[in-house]
C-alpha cells in the first residue's frame, strides 16, 4: 500500500495535475486565454462554509490549468453537494421528462408549457440491490406512459464517469415508441455501492478475468432482477470493453451490441492489418489533456496531442494501482482544484451552467470511497491497451453456445449486429474498430460459404464502424445530436429486425 506522504512527494516533484497527466506546465493565466466555461467552474454549495472561507472566497480563478482557486476549492470541499444531489442537478438539464414521483394524473394531463411532444415519458432513479454485502447498482430508467415496452436499451458509462454523463442522450433516444431505457452506474463507480475490490487469482490471466467478472457478474445479476430476457447494450470506453466481456460470458441475451469509442480493442499500438489506416497514438493521458472545445471544432484529428513517453514514476503509480481519484481524496480541500483541471477542459464546449453541474457531479463521484476504480490496472496497461485485447476475442461475440438453467447446451447464437462508434478526433484508435470489423465480416463470410442452408438463413451477424464528426472520445457529449440520431436509427433497426422474426416464425 502506498503511503500518503510518498504520493504527496510525487505530486510535488512532478507538479501532477488531476487526473494523471504528463503535459508540460502551462503558461501563466491571462483573462484572454480562459474560456467561459473555465470561469464558470465555480462552487455553488448548499450549506454555509466557515466565515473565514466566505470572507476570503476569491471571485476569479487563479490559474489557466487549474481554474478553481485554492480558497474556492476549499470552499467547495467544505460545503460541496452530496452525490445524489449532484446527479439530480445534472438530470435537471434533461427536457420534457417527468420524475415518477409526480401523480399519474398530472403526467397524463401536463401543463401546456411542459407538454412532451414525443409522448409522456417518466424517469425513475433506483438502487437495485444485488447479492452479497454492499452490492447495489444505481439505476436511471425512462419509460413511456401508456405503451408496452417493446425494446430495451441499457447504457454503460466509462472509467471514472457515471450515468449522468449521458444527460444529453436520454431525451432524444427515448423518443422511440415502445422503448424502455436504462442507464447504470457500474459496480463500485458513480453512485452505485462501493464494495471493497479484491483479487484472489494468482496468475496474470486469472486476475484480468476476475477483474472483468467483478463488473459483468453484477450486470447479469441486475438483468435477472429486472427480468429482462434480451436487450441492446451500449457501452462507452471501459463500458464498451466490459460490454464485450459480458456478451462472451453471458450469451443469448443481446439483440445488438453498440461500442462507443471502446477501450482495449488493439493488441498493441500497431496490432492491425497494414491494409488498414495507420492508427493514431492511443494513450490514456489524452483523456486528461485534450481540450474538448478544440476537439469539437477541428477536423481530421488535428486536436489530438502527440503521444509522450511515460515517465517511470507514472508507470510505477499505475502498476501500484494508485488511481487519480485516490490522489483527489488525499488532496482534501485541494481536491476540487485538481478536478477543475480536468473538467474545465473536458466540458469547455458546453454551456457554462451545464459545465458547472458536471464539474460538481464529477467531484462528487471522484471523492467517494475507492472501489471499482482499482480494477483498471488489472484490465489495462499504461496507455489504455488491454491486457486481454478485444481484437483477439471479438470474432466469438454472438457465436457462443447457449446454456440452460442446469448448464446444459440448449442452442447456439447465430450472430448479433455490432456497431463501433468513434469520434472524428478520437484518441482511441479507430483502426482497432476497423480491424475488428474485418474479423467479424470474415466469420460471416465463412458461414455463408460453408454453413448449412438453415445456418445461412438464420445468421444475424453484422458489423459497422461509424465516425461521429466534430467529436472526440466523449462522442455522446461532443456531438450529441449526431450521436443521438445514430442511436435512434440503430434502435429502430432492432425493432424492425424483431418484427421480421415474429412474422417469419408465425
d(CA 25, CA 41): 20
Share of the chain above pLDDT 90, in %: 56
Q: Is the pLDDT of residue 65 over 80?
A: no
Q: 236 and 157 in contact (C-beta within 8 Å)?
A: yes
* Structural domain includes residue 32: no
496: in domain: yes
Tens-place pLDDT, residues 313-327: 555 565 666 667 777
Q: Any idea which residue has 470552499 for its cell?
A: 75
How does DSSP classify residue 137?
Answer: E
**Where is 155: in which H helix or E strand?**
strand 151-156
Q: How far apart are CA 155 and CA 150, in angstroms?
A: 17
Q: Is the pLDDT of residue 302 over 60?
A: no
- The structural domain count of the chain equals 1
DSSP track, 338-366: HHHHHHHHHTTTS-HHHHHHHHHHHHHHH
Question: How does residue 455 score in pLDDT terms, banded at 50, 70 and 90?
Answer: very high
Instruction: List the one residue out of 365, 409, 450 whose CA is nearest residue 80.
Output: 365
- Classify residue 421 as left (phi > 0), alpha (psi -120 to 50) or beta: beta
The CA distance from 386 to 428, in Å, is 12
- Count CB atoms within 10 A of the CB of residue 465: 17
Q: Name the CA dihedral angle for 48, 50, 51, 53, rounded to a multiple of 10 degrees.
A: -100
Write phi, then psi, for 235 (nearest 5 degrees).
-130, 135
Higher pLDDT, 36 or 164: 164
Pairing of strands 151-156, 409-412: unpaired
The runs of H, that is alpha helices, within 67-160 are 70-79, 83-91, 104-108
3-state secondary structure of 497: helix
The SS3 of residue 379 is helix
pLDDT at 84 over 90: yes
pLDDT of residue 81: 78
- Which pLDDT score is estimated for 486? 98
Burial class (CB in 10 A: 0-12, 13-18, 19+), 106: exposed
Residue 393 lies in a domain: yes
Taking only the tens place, the pLDDT of each residue in 436-452 is 999 999 999 999 999 99
Using an 8 Å Cβ cutoff, are 218 and 187 in contact? Answer: yes
Residue 186 lies in a domain: yes
Give the 3-state secondary structure percentages of the chain, helix then strand then coil, rounded to 5.
45, 15, 40
Q: What is the mean pLDDT of residues 174-180?
A: 97
> 101 burial class (0-12, 13-18, 19+ CB within 10 angstroms)?
exposed
Residue 149 CA, chain-centre distance (Å), reads 25
Rounded mean pLDDT of 87-97?
96
At 77, the pLDDT band (50, 70, 90 cuts) reads low
The yes-or-no verdict on residue 221 having pLDDT over 90 is yes
Angle at 296 (CA atoms; ends 291, 298), nearest 5 degrees = 90
pLDDT of 119 above 80:
yes
Residue 187 in 3-state DSSP? coil
Of the listed ranges 142-156, 328-342, 459-473, the one predicted with least confidence = 328-342
Q: Return the pLDDT at 207.
A: 94
User: Confidence band (pLDDT; 50, 70, 90) for 335?
Assistant: low
Indicate whether 11 belongs to any domain.
no
Per-residue pLDDT at 211: 96
pTM: 0.82
The CATH number linked to 477 is 3.40.50.1820
Distance from C-alpha of 171 to C-alpha of 142, rounded to nearest angstrom: 9
The four Cα atoms 237, 479, 234, 94 give a dihedral, to 10 degrees, of 120
Q: Is residue 51 part of a domain?
A: no
Q: In 10 A of CB 448, how many CB atoms?
A: 12
pLDDT at 194: 97
> Which has the minimum average pLDDT: 157-161, 293-297, 320-324?
320-324
Residues tagged active-site? 237, 426, 473
334: pLDDT confidence band, cut at 50, 70 and 90? confident
Q: Is the pLDDT of residue 502 over 70?
A: yes
Name the pLDDT band for 169 (thresholds 50, 70, 90). very high
Distance, first Cα to last Cα, the chain: 61
403 DSSP β-pair partners: 409
Give the other-Cβ count within 10 Å of 125's Cβ: 18
Cβ–Cβ under 8 Å, residues 161 and 376:
no
Please report whether residue 423 resides in a domain. yes
Question: Quick one: pLDDT band at residue 173, thresholds 50, 70, 90?
Answer: very high
CA dist., res. 502 & res. 506, Å (int): 6
DSSP tag of 94: S
Residue range(s) defining the domain that contains residue 413 = 83-271+284-323+370-505
Q: How confident is the model at residue 109 (pLDDT cuts 50, 70, 90)?
A: very low
Give the pLDDT band (50/70/90) at residue 268.
Answer: low
User: CA 490, CA 488: separation in Å to the nearest integer?
Assistant: 5
How buried is residue 28: exposed, middle or buried, by Cβ count under 10 Å (0-12/13-18/19+)?
exposed
Average pLDDT value over all residues in the chain: 80
Our CA angle for 473, 24, 296, nearest 5°, is: 25
Residue 288 confidence (pLDDT): 64
Helices marked H in 185-302: 204-225, 238-249, 286-289, 292-295
Strands 179-184 and 401-403 turn out to be unpaired
Amino acid at each position: 500500500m502506498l503511503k500518503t506522504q510518498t504520493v504527496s512527494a510525487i505530486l510535488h516533484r512532478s507538479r501532477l495535475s488531476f487526473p494523471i497527466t504528463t503535459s508540460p506546465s502551462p503558461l501563466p493565466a491571462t483573462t484572454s486565454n480562459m474560456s467561459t466555461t473555465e470561469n464558470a467552474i465555480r462552487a455553488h454549495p448548499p450549506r454555509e462554509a466557515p466565515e473565514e472561507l466566505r470572507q476570503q472566497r476569491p471571485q476569479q480563478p487563479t490559474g489557466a490549468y487549474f481554474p478553481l482557486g485554492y480558497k474556492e476549492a476549499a470552499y467547495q470541499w467544505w460545503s460541496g453537494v452530496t452525490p445524489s444531489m449532484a446527479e439530480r442537478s445534472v438530470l435537471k438539464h434533461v427536457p420534457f421528462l417527468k420524475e415518477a414521483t409526480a401523480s399519474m394524473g398530472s403526467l397524463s394531463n401536463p401543463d401546456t408549457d411542459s407538454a412532451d411532444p414525443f409522448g409522456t415519458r417518466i424517469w425513475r432513479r433506483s438502487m437495485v440491490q444485488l447479492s452479497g454485502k454492499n452490492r447495489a447498482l444505481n439505476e436511471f430508467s425512462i419509460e413511456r406512459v401508456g405503451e408496452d415496452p417493446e425494446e430495451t436499451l441499457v447504457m454503460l458509462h466509462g472509467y471514472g464517469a457515471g450515468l449522468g454523463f449521458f444527460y444529453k442522450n436520454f431525451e432524444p433516444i427515448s423518443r422511440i415508441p415502445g422503448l424502455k431505457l436504462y442507464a447504470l452506474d457500474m459496480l463500485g463507480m458513480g453512485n452505485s455501492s462501493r464494495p471493497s475490490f479484491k483479487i484472489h487469482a494468482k496468475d496474470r490471466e486469472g486476475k484480468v478475468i476476475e477483474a472483468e467478472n467483478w463488473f459483468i457478474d453484477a450486470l447479469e445479476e441486475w438483468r435477472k432482477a429486472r427480468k429482462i430476457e434480451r436487450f441492446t447494450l451500449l457501452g462507452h470506453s471501459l463500458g464498451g470493453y466490459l460490454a464485450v466481456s459480458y456478451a462472451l460470458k453471458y450469451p443469448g441475451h443481446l439483440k445488438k451490441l453498440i461500442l462507443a469509442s471502446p477501450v482495449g480493442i488493439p493488441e498493441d499500438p500497431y496490432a492491425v492489418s497494414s491494409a488498414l489506416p495507420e492508427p493514431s497514438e492511443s494513450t490514456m493521458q489524452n483523456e486528461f489533456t485534450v481540450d474538448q472545445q478544440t476537439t469539437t471544432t477541428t477536423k481530421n484529428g488535428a486536436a489530438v496531442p502527440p503521444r509522450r513517453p511515460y515517465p517511470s514514476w507514472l508507470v510505477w503509480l499505475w502498476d501500484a494501482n494508485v488511481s487519480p481519484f485516490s490522489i483527489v481524496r488525499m488532496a482534501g480541500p485541494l481536491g476540487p482544484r485538481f478536478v477543475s483541471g480536468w473538467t474545465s477542459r473536458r466540458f469547455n464546449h458546453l454551456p457554462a451552467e451545464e459545465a458547472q453541474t458536471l464539474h460538481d457531479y464529477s467531484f462528487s463521484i471522484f471523492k467517494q470511497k475507492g472501489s471499482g476504480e482499482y480494477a483498471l490496472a488489472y484490465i489495462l496497461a499504461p496507455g489504455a491497451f488491454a491486457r486481454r485485447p478485444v481484437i483477439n476475442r471479438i470474432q466469438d461475440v454472438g457465436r457462443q453456445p447457449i446454456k440452460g438453467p442446469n448448464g446444459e447446451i440448449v442452442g447456439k447464437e447465430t450472430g448479433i449486429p455490432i456497431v463501433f462508434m468513434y469520434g472524428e478526433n478520437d484518441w482511441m484508435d479507430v483502426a482497432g474498430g476497423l480491424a475488428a470489423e474485418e474479423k467479424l465480416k470474415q466469420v460471416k463470410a465463412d458461414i455463408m460459404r460453408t454453413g448449412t442452408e438453415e445456418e445461412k438463413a438464420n445468421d444475424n451477424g453484422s458489423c459497422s464502424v461509424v465516425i461521429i464528426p466534430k467529436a472526440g472520445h466523449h462522442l455522446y457529449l461532443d456531438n450529441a445530436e449526431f450521436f443521438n440520431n445514430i442511436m435512434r436509427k440503430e434502435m429502430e433497426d432492432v425493432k424492425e429486425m424483431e418484427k421480421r422474426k415474429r412474422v417469419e416464425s408465425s
